[in-house]
Amino acid sequence: MGTYGYAAPEYVSTGHLYVKSDVYGFGVVLLEMLCGLRALDPSRPSEKLNLVNWAKPLLSDRRRLTQLMDSRLEGQYHARGAFRAAQLTLKCLAGEPKSRPSMKEVVEALEQIEAMKSKSKSREARRDSPSMPRGRGNSPRSDGARTNSRGR
Amino acid at 151: G
Helices 21-35 and 51-59, axial angle in degrees (round to 10): 80
| CA separation for the pair 135, 58 (Å, rounded) | 48
To which H or E segment does residue 100 belong? none
Q: Cβ(85)–Cβ(113) under 8 Å?
A: yes
Q: Which pLDDT does position 139 carry in this prediction?
A: 47
What structural domains does the chain harbor? 19-122 (1.10.510.10)
Q: What is the mean pLDDT of each run of 10 residues along the chain (152 residues)?
A: 82 92 97 94 86 93 92 87 96 97 97 81 59 50 50 52
pTM more than 0.85: no
Q: Considering only CA atoms, which of 14, 13, 3, 22 is closest in space to residue 104?
A: 22
Question: Which residue in 23, 144, 1, 149 sits closest to 90, CA to CA?
Answer: 23
Tell me, what's the pLDDT at 126? 58
- Smallest CA-to-CA distance from 52 within 83, 26, 77, 72 is with 26
